[in-house]
């Protein structure tokens, strides 16, 4: 199955899944909420069945692949960190609705526009 979402389009969903503190910060910081409202950071999620090679014993496994392109601006590492937090929350929500939470590997790929020592990568 395939699912595509705009990370910051649904404010009530973000509040429910990222918590009241993050939601309050987004509401209080008009500059930040204004920037997020203009962003169209999209994630494509695809849920795959893992097919075993011939001759191997393997149970029915799945993998969720999340593909995205995070905001590029060098001074916006906080935006990328929020994007990763939202991406992970969406992934958890999708897996929960499929009764696969904790039973499915997740692969995040794409252009994260982040260095290894940044908070977005640390969060992953």
pTM: 0.87
- What count of other Cβ atoms lies within 10 Å of the Cβ of residue 21? 9
Q: Which letter does DSSP use for residue 62 in this model?
A: E
Residues 6 or more apart whose Cβ sits within 8 Å of residue 36:
8, 26, 79, 82
What pLDDT sits at residue 57? Answer: 57
Residue 19 belongs to some domain of the structure: no
Residues 6 or more apart whose Cβ sits within 8 Å of residue 92:
17, 101
Residue 67 belongs to some domain of the structure: yes
Number of domains the chain is built from: 1
Q: Which residues span the domain enclosing 116? A: 37-52+60-123
pLDDT reading at 115 higher than 80: yes
**Confidence class for position 1, pLDDT limits 50, 70, 90:** confident
Spacing of C-alpha 23 from chain mean position:
16
Residue 24 belongs to some domain of the structure: no
pLDDT in tens, 36-86: 888 889 999 999 998 877 756 566 789 999 999 999 999 999 999 999 999
Residue 42 belongs to some domain of the structure: yes
Residue 10 belongs to some domain of the structure: no
Residue 30 belongs to some domain of the structure: no
């Amino acid at each position: 199955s395939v699912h595509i979402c705009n990370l910051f389009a649904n404010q009530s969903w973000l509040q429910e899944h990222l918590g009241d503190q993050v939601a309050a910060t987004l509401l209080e910081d008009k500059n930040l909420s204004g920037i997020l409202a203009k962003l169209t950071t999209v994630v494509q999620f695809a849920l795959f069945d893992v097919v075993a090679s011939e001759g191997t014993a393997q149970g029915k496994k799945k993998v969720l692949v999340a593909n995205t392109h995070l905001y590029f601006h060098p001074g916006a590492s906080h935006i990328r960190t929020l994007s990763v937090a939202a991406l992970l929350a969406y992934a958890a929500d999708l897996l929960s609705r499929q009764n696969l939470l904790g039973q499915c590997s997740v692969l995040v790929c794409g252009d994260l526009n982040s260095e290894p020592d940044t908070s977005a990568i640390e969060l992953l």
